[in-house]
Structure 1
Amino acid sequence: MTDTHWLTWTALASLAAWLWLLLGQGRFWRTDVRLPRHAPPERWPAVAVVVPARDEADVLPLSLPSLLAQDYPGEVRVFLIDDGSSDGTAEVARELSERHGGPELTVASPGEPEEGWTGKLWAVRHGVALARERMDAEYLLLTDADIAHVPGSLRALVGAARGGGYDLVSQMARLRVATGWERLIVPAFVYFFSQLYPFRWVNRPGARTAAAAGGCVLLRTGAAVRSRIPESIRHAVIDDVSLARAVKRDGGRIWLGLATGVDSVRPYPRLAELWRMVARSAYAQLLHSPLLLAGTVLGLLLVYVAPPLAVLAGLLGGPLPALAAGGAAWALMTLSFLPMLRYYGLAPWDALLLPFTAVLYLLMTLDSARQHYRGRGAAWKGRTYA
C-alpha cells in the first residue's frame, strides 16, 4: 500500500470513528443535562454534609462559607474531616464557622488511614460514622473542600433526589478557567469525561454505565448502608466512579449532570498542576493495563491527531480524498466541542486547539503509566497509592 493510500484510509477511519461517536455514544457532546426540578417535598429530610479536607486552608475561605449559608428548610449539619493537614485547615474551618454562623460545624480528624484505604475515603468513613452517631440524616452530601455552592444548592439537590426517586445525585462542578492553561485543559477534561461516561447512559436505569463527580454527591444514607459505602470502595483512586458503580450495581438509581451554581475554587495556574491532576489517576482509569494503554494511545492518535495531519498533508500536495476526509473529521470534532466551550463561556475558535489538547492528555496518560511502573502510583498531597 502506498503512503498516499495509507493516509487516505487513516483519514477515512478517523471520519468513521467520529460518525460513530456522534451517533452512537449517548449524545455525549450535549451540555443540557442539568439537575431536574420537582415539586418540593412536604417534609425536608435531614442532611449531613461531609467534607474531607487535606491542606485546604487557602481554599476554605472561598468554599466553606457557602455551605454554612445554605438556604435549606430541613436540618443540616456539616462535618469537616481534617485528613492530616499541616497548614492549619482545622483552625481555619473553626474560625470560619464562628465568623459566619449557620449550621453546626464539627471538625474532626481520624488520624492516618489504615492500610488499604485512600486518605479521602478514610476521611469520608470517619465523617459518615460521626454523622450517623449524632443525627438521623436521610441524605449525605459528600462535597470536596474546594467546592463552593450557591445558597439554594442543597435544596435543589434534595428536591431532585426526592422527586426523582434517586439514591445518588451528582453534579460535575464547574471548574475554574481563569488562566490560559485552564482554558486549554479544563473544558477538554469534562468533554473527555462525558465522552467516556455519557450522562444520558449514566442516568438510564437499565444501562451499565455508571459515574459520578466526586466534588458534589448527594447520597441516600440507606443506599450507602446497602452498598457498604465507603468500605466497599476503600482502595479506589477514582472514588467517584467506583461509588456510582457500587450504588447502581446494588439496584440504586443514580443521576449525573453538569452543575449550575456548584463551582470549584481551586486554582490551576500552571500546566504542572493540571498535569498532576490528570496524571494521578489516568492509568488507574485504564486498570493499569498495558493493552488498554496501547489502545488508548492509538485511539487518541486516530480520532484527534489524524484529522489535522491529513488536512496538512493534503494542503501540501497529498491526496485529495485524505484532505476531504480529514477536514470532515476535524469539522465534526470541532462542532462537538463547541457546546462545552459555550458552557464555560469561552471563544468558539478555541475548539480548533482540541487536537493539541488531546496530545497533552496522551502525554499525561503515558506519564501516569510511567509513574505507576516507577512505584509512585497515584500521588496526591504527599501520599502515594499503589
Structure 2
Amino acid sequence: MSAAVWIALTSLLAWLWLLLGQGFFWRTDVRLPPGRDPRVWPPVCVVVPARDEAEVLPRSLPSLLAQEYPGRAEVFLVDDGSSDGTGELAAELSRRHGGLPLTVTSPGEPPAGWTGKLWAVRHGIALARTRGPAFLLLTDADIAHAPDSLRSLVAAAEGGGYDMVSQMARLRVESLWERFVVPAFVYFFAQLYPFRWIAVRGGRTAAAAGGCVLLRAETAERARVPDAIRQAVIDDVALARAVKGGGGHIWLGLADRVDSVRPYPRLHDLWHMVARSAYAQLRHNPLLLLGTVLGLALVYLVPPVAFLAGLAAGAWAAAVAGGLAWLVMAATFVPMLRYYRLRGWLAPLLPFTAFLYLLMTVDSAVRHYRGRGAAWKGRTYARPDAALEES
C-alpha cells in the first residue's frame, strides 16, 4: 500500500481509539450529579476576581446576589486593578439589586511570581476565611448563575462527598465565529480531560473549569490554594491537580444553568482567548508543540484530505479510510453541537476549526518567544521558571 493509504488508515485507527478508549469524551451527559440536601446548610463565601469587567458585570453579578441559598452566604468581589470602574459598579449593583451581602475589595498589584487573577483570589479567600465558610465558590466575573446554582453545587458536593465540584459554563454562541470555534473549544478540552476520568478517585486525570468551582475550605487550605499554583496561567487545571494530588475527590461536568455572558464576536477575540495560553498548556516545550501540530494534522486534517484527494485520484483505499475517519470525527462532534443548540451540519466542518486551533497554537508559541506570551488585559506573564528567578 502507498504511504497515503497508511497515513489515512493510521488516522482512522486513531479515531476508533478516541471513540472507544478516551473515556467517551464526546458524550455530553456528564451533568451535575444528584445532590443531597444537608440537615444544616453550610456557610459559603463566593470569591469573584474581576479586572475591567464593567461591560459584563450588570449581566452576571446580580445573578450571584440573587442566589436562593438556605444557609449563610456572601460575596467578595476582588477588583484586580480595574481602570473602568468595576469596583464602583459592583457596589452600585449591590445597592440596586440587594440580595446576598457584597464586599468589594482590592489587593493592589500582584508581586513577582503571581498572576493577577490568583493574587486576587488569594486576597478574596483570605477575607472569606474570617467568616469561617465551609465552602468557597470561585467564579469569574463573566459568569451568570441560575438562582438555585449555589444550592445545587453544595448539595452535589455533600451528596457525592466531593472536595471540589466544577461546572463548565455554557459559553456564548451567537456570532458566526462563536458557533465555529466555541463548541470545538469545549470538545477539545473534554478530549484532553475526559470528564468521566476526572471523577475517578486516585486517577491521574484532573481538570476544572475556572468559571465555576465549588471548593471545600479545608481542602483549599490543605492543598495550599492558591499559593501552590500562584504562577499558573491555566489556573483551573492547576487547581484541580493540586486538589486531586492531595487526595481530594473532584468532579467536572457541563453546566445547564451556568452561562458565560462574555461576547467573542470576532475571530480576533477568540484567537486571542486561545493563543494567550495554548503554549503554556504545552509547558513552553518546542517538542510538545511539534507533536501537537503533527497530532492535530494526523487526526483532524488527514481524513478530509485523504477522502477528497483519494476520490479525485481514484485511490479508493485512501478515500474509504479517510471518509470513515471523517465520519467518526463528525459523529463524535454532534453531541456537543446539540448541547450548544446548534445544527448538525457544522459537524463535518470540524477539520476547518481544528486547523484554526493549530494556527492559534503556533501563534501562541510565536508570541511567547517574542515576549508577548500569556498576555491578558494589560499584563504579560513570563514562564514560571523566569518568574521565580525574578522573585
TM-score interval (norm. to shorter): over 0.9
Structure 2 gap ranges (5+): 383-391
Structure 1 gap ranges (5+): none
Aligned to 2:82: 85
Check if 1:303 corresponds to 2:299: yes
Aligned to 1:258: 254
SS at match of 1:229: coil
State the Cα distance separating 1:23 from its structure 2 match.
Answer: 1.2
Aligned to 2:30: 33
Q: Distance in 1 between matches of 2:57 and 2:320?
A: 51
Q: Distance in 2 between matches of 1:124 and 1:318?
A: 59
Do the aligned partners of 2:43 and 2:73 also contact (CA within 8 Å) in 1? yes
Aligned to 1:138: 134
Q: Distance in 1 between matches of 2:249 and 2:144?
A: 26
State the Cα distance separating 1:375 from its structure 2 match.
Answer: 1.4
Q: Distance in 1 between matches of 2:312 and 2:157?
A: 56
Check if 1:183 corresponds to 2:179: yes
Aligned to 1:340: 336
Q: 2:10 aligns with which of 13, 32, 40?
A: 13
Q: 2:91 aligns with which of 91, 94, 98?
A: 94
Aligned to 1:110: 107
Q: Distance in 2 between matches of 1:188 and 1:341?
A: 9
List structure 1 runs of 4+ shifted beyond 6 angstroms: none
Q: Distance in 2 between matches of 1:96 and 1:332?
A: 48
State the Cα distance separating 1:136 from its structure 2 match.
Answer: 1.1
Q: Distance in 2 between matches of 1:379 and 1:114?
A: 16
State the Cα distance separating 1:318 from its structure 2 match.
Answer: 3.5
Aligned to 2:64: 67
Q: Distance in 1 between matches of 2:252 and 2:260?
A: 17
- Counterpart residue type for residue 18 of structure 1: W
SS at match of 1:316: helix
SS at match of 1:169: strand
Q: Distance in 1 between matches of 2:263 and 2:126?
A: 31
Check if 1:127 corresponds to 2:124: yes
Aligned to 1:213: 209
Q: Distance in 2 between matches of 1:249 and 1:132?
A: 23
Q: Distance in 1 between matches of 2:112 and 2:273?
A: 23
Aligned to 2:162: 166
Kindly, what percent of the aligned residue pairs are identical? 72
Q: Distance in 2 between matches of 1:211 and 1:287?
A: 16
Q: Give the alignment of 1:279-358 within 5 angstroms.
A: 279-358=275-354
State the Cα distance separating 1:260 from its structure 2 match.
Answer: 1.1
* RMSD of equivalent CA atoms: 0.7
Relative to the length of structure 1, the TM-score reads: 0.98
Q: Distance in 2 between matches of 1:100 and 1:76?
A: 16
Relative to the length of structure 2, the TM-score reads: 0.97
Do the aligned partners of 2:36 and 2:158 also contact (CA within 8 Å) in 1? no
- Residues 274-327 of structure 1 show CA distances to partners (whole Å, capped at 9, x for unaligned) of 000000110000111111100000000000000000111122123100000000
Task: Provide the aligned length of Structure 1 versus Structure 2.
Answer: 382
